[in-house]
Amino acid sequence: MSKRNFDALTLLINALSKAEKRNFKLLAAKTRSSENSMFLQLFNFLDKQEVFNELKFLAKHPEVKKGQLSNLKAHLYKQILQSLRPLHVSDIDLHIREQLDFATILFNKCLYDDSKKLLDKAKSLTLRFERNTLLFEILELEKLLLTKLIKNNIEEPVFELISSSNEVLGKINNINTFKDLSLKLYSFYLKIGFIRNDKDFEVVSSFMHSTLPKFNEKDLCFEEKIHLYNALAGYHFFIQDLQRGYSYAQKWVDLFLNETDRQISNTENYLKAINNLLVAQSKLSLFSGFKRTLALFEEVIANKKIIKTKNIELLIFKYQSTSLINKFFILGDFKSGVGIIPSIAQELDNKRLFLDTHYVLIFYYKFACMYFGNAQYEHAIFWLNEILNTKDVDLRSDVLVFARILNIISHYEMDNTDLMEYNVRSTYRFLLKKGDFHRFQKAIIKFLRRMPKLTDSELSGAFLDLKSELLPLTKNLYEKRSFIYFDIISWLESKIEGRTVQEVIREKASSLLGQEIDLEP
């Protein structure tokens, strides 16, 4: 179901756990008023509906006028949020903000000593967990308190407070710069995928080096390093320098390894770090390292001290499912891989409301590749069509391009020659429109155009010619990205040698993993 069919209130109620729903109903029932009764009726109605049907609700509750409904929904939304806050006070940021709010209230009541006591507790937590933005807010209130509490010898504490404030502000500036850099790089990646040419590289590289501030890595605090390594890992993945991307992903994970408190207070960043490392290890076929990192990921999931919010549960699903699929790709074990797809696809559908389109597209493409590797071409085409029918055509144009190419090859495997000719023409126009017509794509389109006209005796030579034409491109800085999306060389070899794609890829995987030496960052 598309998010467009849900309003904010419906989405919020969908996101509530059973315990949170029960807590809200108990709180609403305690206050016996006609307004609360209406809130509860609306809540109960929405809780049983997939999509809010306004006319159905008004027909069932004639006491509610249509003009009242908008305000009623807004008030219900606010009440639900208020009911949630006490349940989530264990979140360190919410706890610190609560102490800061209480300290502000006491300050406004002229209870300066009590305000300072609460502020000191909050400050201690921000220092322990490196919440620099909150620490800066605390220091600002502390400046106001300083003038109220110190009557003489004020110069030294003033100097210390200003110095602390400036130091924290410097950290915040670095953190914001690193975050902004990661976000901008991600927006580039969502648009085009990996860099395609010198122009892409120049744009990304210039932005990277002009934005990155001067710093001494040893002097950075924990929070600064988290966002620095995130930015640097993302940048090197983007430009296809997988080895350096792997190095920074490893550094990112290493930050957390002996920091139990930070694993719990920064769970999202810890999971992201592990996922980045898993992605790097899968692309570099470092299977022994991949298995160790996957075991580390399972330890995080099993850690009962970590609070599994909806957000954390969603990350776990995305990263765990992606890693399980990638494991079968590394091993070339497509037969086992297709076995896990139905359950992942079902969970993907269940969580569709809360997943971004980009991640859904990536899952669909991985599903298609897995089925293709297992010679289940009809299933591959099903998932490829899910990608090609997406309305967000400006998202991940690289995936859309290679989904089209894999779709044509799948139709070839199923002897759908009429559909092949139509799809080749359509893909040709699409490539021209997207400006993604490189040597790899040109060679493939030229070959696919000829295929339906070739006799069986001519096909073998055509497969050999295409392989000879494509092999040099695997070493080309920009063309090699194409082989990340689809191992066409192995497909060609399977045709030339009369074997299945799985046999060819498994043989290569066994040979590679048998010689594997973990690379040290």
The more confidently predicted of residues 36 and 223 is 223
Percent over 90 (pLDDT), the chain: 47
Neighbours of 225 (CB within 10 A): 20
What per-residue confidence (pLDDT) applies to 31? Answer: 67
d(CA 140, CA 11): 36
Q: Are 84 and 13 in contact (CB under 8 A)?
A: no
The mean pLDDT value of the chain amounts to 87
CB 164 within 8 A of CB 139: yes
Confidence class for position 516, pLDDT limits 50, 70, 90: very low
DSSP string, 105-142: HHHHTT-HHHHHHHHHHHHHHHHHHT-HHHHHHHHHHH
Specify the pLDDT at position 173.
95
Q: How far is CA 202 from the centre of its chain?
A: 26
Structure tokens at 218: 């040893």
Position 138 scores a pLDDT of: 96
Whether residue 45 contacts residue 53, with contact meaning beta carbons closer than 8 Å, is answered with no
| pLDDT in the model for residue 374 | 95
**Quick one: pLDDT at residue 521?**
36
Token digits of residue 284: 């570099």
Question: How far from 506 is each of 284, 315, 512, CA to CA, in Å?
Answer: 16, 30, 10
For residues 277 and 253, the answer to whether their CB atoms sit within 8 Å is yes
Q: State residue 6's pLDDT score.
A: 58
**What pLDDT is recorded for position 518?**
42
Residue 3 has pLDDT above 60, yes or no: no
* pLDDT of 267 over the 60 cut: yes
The token pair at 99 is: 């102490």
Residue with tokens 């004020």: 154
pLDDT at 253: 97
CB 284 within 8 A of CB 236: no
How many other C-beta atoms are found inside a 10 Å radius of the C-beta of residue 169?
Answer: 13
Q: Count CB-CB contacts under 10 A for residue 29.
A: 11
Could you give the CA distance from residue 383 to residue 369 in angstroms, rounded to a whole number? Answer: 9
> Quick one: pLDDT at residue 88?
73
Q: Is CATH 1.25.40 the right assignment for the domain spanning 355-521?
A: yes
pLDDT digits (tens, 9 = 90+) for 76-89: 898 898 888 877 76
* Diameter over CA atoms, the chain: 99
Residue 247 tokens, joined: 């190095």
Span between the terminal Cα atoms of the chain, in Å? 43
Whether the per-residue pLDDT at 519 is higher than 50: the answer is no
Tens of pLDDT, residues 468-491: 999 998 888 888 878 888 889 999
How far from 469 is each of 194, 439, 447, 459, CA to CA, in Å?
22, 9, 11, 15
Domain ranges, ordered by start, for the chain? 3-88, 171-239, 248-331, 355-521
For the chain, give the percent of residues with pLDDT over 70. 94
Query: pLDDT digit string (tens) for 310-344?
Result: 899 999 999 999 999 999 999 999 999 999 999 99
Place 394 in a pLDDT band, splitting at 50, 70 and 90.
low
Identity of the amino acid at 133: T
Residue 93: burial class (beta carbons within 10 Å; 0-12, 13-18, 19+):
middle
Pick from 274-283, 445-454, 458-467, 490-499: least confident = 445-454
- What span, in angstroms and rounded, lies between the C-alpha atoms of 258 and 116? 33
Q: How much is the pLDDT for 338? A: 96
Which of these, 476, 420, 418, lies nearest to 444 by C-alpha position?
420
Question: Which pLDDT tens digit goes with each residue over 38-73?
Answer: 878 888 888 877 778 888 888 888 888 888 888 888
